[in-house]
Structure 1
């Protein structure tokens, strides 16, 4: 879950969420036997100059009796303030995943502990002159060793050397090498710190050496963990830490994790099923073009050898290795059962994939001193005492195959405040339990349980499915029997928090209000985890899965994966419900009208100030804003349904003209007409001095700015060009907008201050549309270098349409001045006319500046 627009689970992938982490094609060399030199005339070769600079000392001289040693992936020796890694020879040239995360953050820095900063595949390689190289597996090209092209792949790719270490000593029987890593661990290498792009994103300047240090280095059987504290000068003056100290201090955690010796079989990525994925470029002898090979992230879940036949017959069997999550011992005891339940709820989904007891949560065995929370063999739900209102569910996956190796879920204590706000405002009208400033433990526990399930879904490889709720007919959300049986969304991976559509008279219980692991989630787990027998490779598996996907989607629309809401599809949005965002928004507003007048009573705490009232009122306005902006995607929207050649129908379809006209009607009635029900004086006179625009005006102006944006008008023109009369004519759209925003010009009624601010905003937006440079997303000032001639032609149409609309508006305002007898309204219109006179009296095409 993410409170910055959407749950910020920090994963990096390309378009369609595909990360470009790849395995390196390795080639073997044959060592020729050296000839023996004649004994009598043998002359010791002169040592090379570099070898003299880097002499290898006896092991005992480097790793002295004072060393504190930890054995693990890398054997770590600490002597005073020095750290040494002892790398076994058997680990040389073996790929290791290095994941770099923030572990601690300065308050207000715009980041939080747990965020992934970067990940890379690295390996150790012996170099000349007694050096050990740390190399980055930077290539994403692979080829089967049986294909001749594998030689070309191997010879065409050279991996960069990130660091070079003088070998200080060799271990017993020369089976390992020892290097000093002290300076390296505190260096600003991107492996352990920030690259230039991330430093800019986090507003960081130079690292301050005397305020940065190594916090700890721990080693375990399959991982080594390096924790550092790094202080940076910062130019982000708005932060308290920057203004007081001129710096930001962050904790960094770098995990070196050994990749499996035997790679798991891949399961190829399919855009119709929402899994995180990695990708590489595959070369084959029989190819006619280079292919991108993408594969999903999933745990290695296999039946035991003795159970395979039972599994094939459809009997549920236990896996060879269970997926186990441990609960951090720092977790308050009363919340542990609910976190555990959120994990165990996934057992039903894995049963659909053929496994029983496939996943389980356990309390951390505090008495067992052999276990560590930092050990990558154990996945843990970590509990943080933090004001951050969030939880996140990452996974560490093998970039060669997508196999999930481990996961550490981050759970912030204050996430309970977040779900409290959501539930009071979204469910307060239908659930009496939501009408308290402090929820009963049972209700809060159930809220924790659903969030836990959502985050676990991410650690199983599942992405958000923002479109799931759009498969539910809006009226079914008010049907008690139906919604309690089927749930208000088919996926816990949706951001469809609670059933805000249900009305008090529907008497919907918790089963119809809360999200749950549902049809889509079970099907996705089956698709990703059920083993396929009798096939030769992942490519053969893909053919079988494609048939399953086509048949499943054809028979059950609730299995649709609607993406993560990053396109212009109004069906795929966070925090929305149902197949009709307009009706759902109207039902939601109806409930908000019941809730807002009760907020003073529901937040009342004798002896306390009105801080809680202010927080809940802002949440109510925020919920209203969600309903309003859900509807916005209808305007110029395009529905995207991923398909393959063997599926009928179009991938892209415009939103219907009727739905777009309903959208303007919704705005004219629910937004542009002042929502006085939300301007509750009893609340505002306790929380808002009224010296500036209030929250309602901010929502109104945000809608006007977005609805009249240059890019939206351009997109609507594209739709009209591509889809003809079935699309919303931009001219008609602006005419309908004007009729709603300036209805007083016809009626002669007086305008209130909200309407006057709205009308000024509208006129200013259209003027901006007319004057502004063409600004397609991703374009530069030299627009002709980045758009087609058709784009330029359409843009000239944007300017001419905006100019014509301004002329019409000026004429209407001129006529409206004489119709009103209200003084404030009259001088308001006169001011707008003066603004428009300047535009209209200029040349109609004032030197187009592309």
Structure 2
């Protein structure tokens, strides 16, 4: 075990003085020869040869040439195993184009400014742009030896820095303040390697607490939260040579892009340039309609992935071969298990790796790309192992398969493997350059693997849920169209710009929609087709259907949902994904209310630009969404509650559990509150409310905000009273509705008119409640109404200071988290 440093503040000052005074003495010394300096050291050849001084723990880097661009990339080979902190094994950092420049007896590592460029052939114009914007010197080295233009520098401290920003990420996650402790950090040789096209240096780094309390996420994954020890990895990568032709991106294409400003663009043309992010793929015969590639794109699957998962990863990732065949390439895309002896750190290997975390979390696809051109150098997929277990748990909840005396049906494992294939294809798609397409599921099942698919659950003839067709197979029509746009190679003499535009017009004519993250993830997003985890072209109709499936599964839910020998309290863990099964289809349907259909249109494509959702569609969606607040939807049966005990010792409640107000016992009203908050947050979302006001002014037949709020009130507060648990559900839902109505009335994100209307509706609700208080009603109902009136009166005193009551936390969804991205270009 590493001991804590006992260095006092005065000790730190002495070290600082040494750091600043010693270089001024030593930099004036004449460099030694290579032979003198590296005698007895362990030498490794590669892109940047290096020498390891084992006695002093120093690493010397040879710089064969100065002023030659390379790619500098940081990585995190050993992560923290927490999706909330977001520091995962294999995570790539920021890729930077850099070069080494000698200045006297120093070598500076310089990052040029590629955000601002000149494409001019005139050297003076290029110099003008370069001198107009700053560069960044990332590090300074002392020349230790030189030989015929080769320079040797001590790079130890450079490779021991926190290049990946672990301290910043931990602080952003509110997990405490940490600093790098040099006494507990060192270069580690097991993953410090050299290859012809990349040099890889790894360091074991220890971050120590600055005295502030550490967070629960750090404590849950670290043996001693006062000292976080991870590994950070630095790569120096050869940039691609000539032969690659950049392709300008179109917002309709579905590809990620590298952006920069070209100050040599002619007047009247945009400064901003967008280059497609893609692999280099060139036909061996450029005149052939179908040709073998000069060099195929090959991906390798982590040998550490267990079977049958590993085979599913190979199969799913290999679906992309069909897309490249449709593009005019034969044998252009391949997927294999990483061969024995091959090193995943070699930049020549596109990798699909299998990682473990303490909590379930995102899988993602990343690309190491040349920032100058957008050419992908390496694709790297990271798949979280707990995703498969979460999918299995969803299947357990739906099928309740553990009946005594009967074999466990294979459906659950088959569903997990089907999802694994789809997931592998999805993340590899990102590393081919593709964005999410969250509109694909609204066209037809299987239109694109770049959507987030919800399992397709149906009921059999006996009314039992079945997962026989949970996921589609193969890449879809949009995937093939997108790959054709990004990777097609046209015959010599073709007008490429016109040919690419025709591909996009043909795609639109086929009804293939593309809507990505920024228009789909926000709670109040307006596009009625940009949804995560939804199914079908009619969101409202599918919500009604999934509610029926959910009810059928809940009616059968009981002890058969867990294995014999498991604690009965584990039923709650299995219940959560089933109880909230409708959450994403509810979100999809809500986008029709105050929704606006639109495309990423460009002038001249003659397609639809925007279209307000028809009033009838909006009202149908509102009716469907309001069903999610009904007692028949949210109330759990007493028969289930009597078999759900508190957790035994050793089985603590987790963030995956419903919160509640009843202490150790399961609180059914806590589950109701969680589900009701999900729906109410959608219905009362400020930007949606503001759109309802605006769109009703444009089209008086469209639902107004008044109409929507009144429908919500009539379907909650003003419905007939029910007895027992259903009556308790009504109380919970009504308080949730009231809280969200007050939030909307006070929201600075809503338009003034939306706030005014919400305020008027709140006043009308208060008047209705006061009328009810004059009636003879049961004591509990009287208390419920009186408390609501008291809350409204407190709101009137100063709406600007209104703070909504703290909501019970909802267990995380999206099988992978909440508002994260699962792609980055580095």
Measured against the shorter chain, the TM-score band is: 0.7 to 0.9
Q: Does the C-alpha gap of structure 1 residues 417 and 533 become closer, same or farther in structure 2, counting only changes over 3 Å?
A: same
Q: Distance in 2 between matches of 1:337 and 1:262?
A: 36
TM-score w.r.t. structure 1 length?
A: 0.80
* Among 258, 261, 276, the residue aligned to 1:296: 276
**What is the match of residue 257 of structure 2?**
277
Q: Map Cα deviations across residues 555-600 of structure 1 (whole Å, 9 max, x no partner).
A: x11x221223234213111100111111111111111222223343
**What is the match of residue 652 of structure 1?**
610
Distance apart, 1:610 and its partner CA: 3.0
Q: Distance in 1 between matches of 2:471 and 2:801?
A: 57
Q: Does the C-alpha gap of structure 1 residues 610 and 846 become closer, same or farther in structure 2, counting only changes over 3 Å?
A: closer
Runs of 5+ in structure 2 lacking a partner? 1-23, 647-664, 804-826
Q: Distance in 2 between matches of 1:818 and 1:513?
A: 56
Q: Distance in 1 between matches of 2:565 and 2:466?
A: 35
Q: Distance in 2 between matches of 1:697 and 1:831?
A: 17
1:582 matched to 2:540:
yes
**What is the match of residue 503 of structure 2?**
548
Map residues 309-708 of structure 1 onto 2, 5 A cutoff: 309=287, 311=288, 314=289, 316-366=290-340, 368=341, 371-389=342-360, 390-424=362-396, 436=408, 444-472=416-444, 488-500=445-457, 510=468, 513-534=471-492, 541-554=496-509, 556-557=510-511, 559-564=512-517, 565-566=520-521, 567-600=525-558, 602-610=560-568, 612-676=570-634, 678-679=636-637, 681-682=639-640, 685-686=643-644, 689-691=665-667, 693-708=669-684
Q: Distance in 1 between matches of 2:283 and 2:558?
A: 57
Map residues 4-15 of structure 1 onto 2, 5 A cutoff: none
Q: Distance in 2 between matches of 1:590 and 1:846?
A: 42
Q: Map Cα deviations across residues 469-503 of structure 1 (whole Å, 9 max, x no partner).
A: 1113xxxxxxxxxxxxxxx2301111123223676
**What is the match of residue 781 of structure 2?**
825
- Tell me the secondary structure at the aligned position of residue 760 of structure 1: helix
Q: Does the C-alpha gap of structure 1 residues 608 and 51 become closer, same or farther in structure 2, counting only changes over 3 Å?
A: closer
**What is the match of residue 216 of structure 2?**
238
Q: Does the C-alpha gap of structure 1 residues 198 and 153 become closer, same or farther in structure 2, counting only changes over 3 Å?
A: farther
* Among 123, 130, 133, the residue aligned to 1:157: 133
Q: Distance in 2 between matches of 1:59 and 1:661?
A: 79
Preserved CA contact (<8 Å) 2:187 2:204: yes
Q: Distance in 2 between matches of 1:402 and 1:362?
A: 25
**What is the match of residue 8 of structure 1?**
none
Q: Distance in 1 between matches of 2:683 and 2:762?
A: 16
Q: Distance in 2 between matches of 1:338 and 1:765?
A: 44
Q: Distance in 2 between matches of 1:715 and 1:111?
A: 35
Distance apart, 1:709 and its partner CA: 4.1
Q: Distance in 1 between matches of 2:458 and 2:705?
A: 32
Preserved CA contact (<8 Å) 2:672 2:732: no
Q: Does the C-alpha gap of structure 1 residues 710 and 290 become closer, same or farther in structure 2, counting only changes over 3 Å?
A: closer
* Among 760, 763, 768, the residue aligned to 1:807: 763
Q: Does the C-alpha gap of structure 1 residues 284 and 633 become closer, same or farther in structure 2, counting only changes over 3 Å?
A: same
Q: Map Cα deviations across residues 313-365 of structure 1 (whole Å, 9 max, x no partner).
A: x2x32111111122323233443332221232221111111111111122333
Q: Map Cα deviations across residues 428-485 of structure 1 (whole Å, 9 max, x no partner).
A: 89xxxx995876765544443222222221221112111101113xxxxxxxxxxxxx
Q: Does the C-alpha gap of structure 1 residues 509 and 317 become closer, same or farther in structure 2, counting only changes over 3 Å?
A: farther
Map residues 153-232 of structure 1 onto 2, 5 A cutoff: 153-171=129-147, 174-188=148-162, 191-194=163-166, 196=168, 199-201=171-173, 203=175, 204-216=177-189, 217-232=192-207
Q: Map Cα deviations across residues 595-623 of structure 1 (whole Å, 9 max, x no partner).
A: 22334354342222136532221110231
Q: Distance in 2 between matches of 1:252 and 1:169?
A: 27
Distance apart, 1:165 and its partner CA: 0.4
TM-score w.r.t. structure 2 length?
A: 0.82
Q: Distance in 1 between matches of 2:265 and 2:787?
A: 73
1:100 matched to 2:58:
no
Preserved CA contact (<8 Å) 2:672 2:733: no
Preserved CA contact (<8 Å) 1:388 1:412: no
Q: Distance in 2 between matches of 1:622 and 1:515?
A: 26
Q: Distance in 2 between matches of 1:378 and 1:576?
A: 34
Preserved CA contact (<8 Å) 1:106 1:248: no
Q: Does the C-alpha gap of structure 1 residues 541 and 758 become closer, same or farther in structure 2, counting only changes over 3 Å?
A: same
Distance apart, 1:676 and its partner CA: 4.8
Q: Does the C-alpha gap of structure 1 residues 674 and 593 become closer, same or farther in structure 2, counting only changes over 3 Å?
A: closer
Deviates more, 1:346-355 or 1:199-208: 199-208
Report the number of matched residues.
Answer: 740
Q: Distance in 2 between matches of 1:545 and 1:344?
A: 26
